[in-house]
Amino acid sequence: MAYELFYWPGLQGRGEFVRLAFEATKTPYVDIVREAGPGRGMGEMMSMLRDDSLVEAPFAPPFLRVGDQIIGQTANILQYLGPRLGLAGKDERTQIFTHGLQLTIADLVTEVHDSHHPIASRLYYSAQRNEARKRSADLIDYRVPKFFGYFERVLTNNPSHKGWLVGDALTYADLSLFQVIAGLHFAFPRAMTGFANAYPRCATVHDAVAALPAIAAYLQSPRRVPFNNTGIFRHYKALDRASPF
């Protein structure tokens, strides 16, 4: 059965965490909204979102369709794909720890989003610029160090010492960590100066993921939407600040 990914066009957003899992493992998938033809395109996604009769209705994109099963929520999709694509440990305990890391990354992603939209997602950034400046300062000075201090500790304590977050092999949590670090570099280039010195193991995960042949090829391809100011990671000069590291 084909894996069909539904996500908004024109931005990486949360859909990108799912794309990275497919791309890293060279798993065929259909990026429904970005492809043309019957049963594809924006209309297909909107008809799913508006379908009042769906039993497994998703709350919001991204969601995945596999046959007639619909799976919503990024971390849930990755958990489903993990064992199927070889991106999660083999035993339940390892999979649970991997999922916990993913949920912590998801919390950070929400905080990054809210740094430019602290009052309301539905309003423009320009309508909440002053509040965004305050929240971004807190994100950069306190929250980013807290999250990456944690991930650095997890990497340090992993007994297999292969450089990945869990066990001795790549998991979807490593792919997501790469994406968050790449996104923060785009959004806050000044603040992220010194990141690699402060969190060397996290920086190594970023570089190792970027160097995976399948990911390196993907990042050069037109399938990788460039970072831009409609996504989660946005570069507004007014929100960037001196590096806390």
List of residues contacting its own copies (CB under 8 A): 52-59, 69, 71-73, 75-76, 79-80, 93, 96-97, 99-100, 103-104, 107, 110, 114, 118-120, 122-123, 131, 134-135, 138, 142, 147, 150, 153-154, 157-159
Give the strands of the sheet with 3-6, arranged side by side: 30-31, 3-6, 63-66, 69-72
CB 79, min distance to its own copies, A: 8
Nearer to its own copies, 148 or 186 (CB): 148
Reference 225, options 3, 23, 2; nearest CA is 23
111 vs 117, 145, 147, CA distance in Å? 9, 13, 11
User: What SS3 string covers 90-158?
Assistant: CCHHHHHHHHHHHHHHHHHHHHHHHHHCCCCCCCCHHHHHHHHHHHHHHHHHHHHHHHHHHHHHHHHHC
What minimum distance in Å lies between the beta carbon of 226 and its own copies?
27
Question: Residue 48 or 225: which CB sits closer to its own copies?
Answer: 48
For the CB of residue 90, give the shortest distance to its own copies in the complex, in Å: 16
Half-sphere exposure of 140 (CA within 13 A, CB side): 26
Q: At its nearest, how many Å lie between its own copies and the CB of residue 216?
A: 30
Nearer to its own copies, 191 or 215 (CB): 191
* 84 closest CA partner among 163, 162, 172, 216: 172
141 vs 219 by CB, closer to its own copies = 141
- Cβ closer to its own copies: 40 or 241? 241
Residue 149 Cβ vs its own copies, minimum distance, rounded to whole Å? 10
Considering the complex, what minimum distance in angstroms separates the CB of residue 184 from its own copies? 17
**Eight-state DSSP code of residue 237:** G
**Residue 14, helix vs strand vs coil:** coil
- When the beta carbons of 35 and 142 are compared against its own copies, the nearer one is 142
Beta carbon of residue 104, minimum distance to its own copies (angstroms, whole number): 5
Residue 189 DSSP symbol: T
Task: Give the residue with the Cβ less far from its own copies, 57 or 216.
Answer: 57
Residue whose pair of structure tokens reads 């160097």 in the numeric block: 211
Q: Which residue has the tokens 């720890």?
A: 97
